Amino acid sequence: MTSDETFDESCLFCKIVAGQIPADVVHTGERTVAFRDIAPKAPLHVLVVPREHQPNAAAIAASNPAATADLITVAREVAIAEGYDDYRLVFNTGAGAGQTVFHAHVHLLAGGDLPFAAG
Ligand code: AMP
């Protein structure tokens, strides 16, 4: 399935991926786009999103495993490029877990006291 086939007019991240809404883009790839979070929670806070619209991480994993793997490999590449060897990845899934944009994305966080610690 291509991003064109899944484009959702009402989705903020589809519009950023399509270049219809500006963002501070740090990576563009065949299957993913990465841009800085508009309200950063850490010195480095980047969102890596698949071009294909799916509502959450589990849905993109079922639909497009290659794009899902790219979320993780691109996050690492961006972290290294920004000077961070250590970083945290967060997938919020569902409003009850803090998801506000229902287009799959991973938060890449690095530097300082990182939020969303699980351990
Ligand atoms: P989540 O709460 O996991 O759905 O994450 C959505 C994230 O998107 C939040 O951290 C927001 O700060 C971020 N966000 C919302 N609008 C924009 C935007 N126009 N550009 C970049 N990040 C955004």
Q: With contact defined as beta carbons under 8 Å apart, do 53 and 31 qualify?
A: no
115 lies in some domain: no
pLDDT per position as a tens digit, 56-80: 999 999 999 999 999 999 999 999 9
2 lies in some domain: no
Domain ranges, residue 102: 12-110
CA of 63 from ligand 1 middle (Å) equals: 23
- CATH number of the domain within which 29 lies: 3.30.428.10
pLDDT of residue 117: 75
6 lies in some domain: no
7 lies in some domain: no
Q: How far apart are CA 68 and CA 106, in angstroms?
A: 10
Backbone angles phi, psi at 27, to 5 degrees: -160, 135
Nearest of 30, 37, 102 to residue 71 by alpha carbon: 30
3 lies in some domain: no
Higher pLDDT, 41 or 3: 41
Does 37 sit in the ligand 1 pocket, CB within 6 Å? yes
106 lies in some domain: yes
Residue 105 among the catalytic residues: yes
Number of domains observed in the structure of the chain: 1
116 lies in some domain: no
Locate 57 and state its tokens.
């991480």
Does 72 sit in the ligand 1 pocket, CB within 6 Å? no
Which atom of ligand 1 lies closest to the CA of 99?
Answer: 4
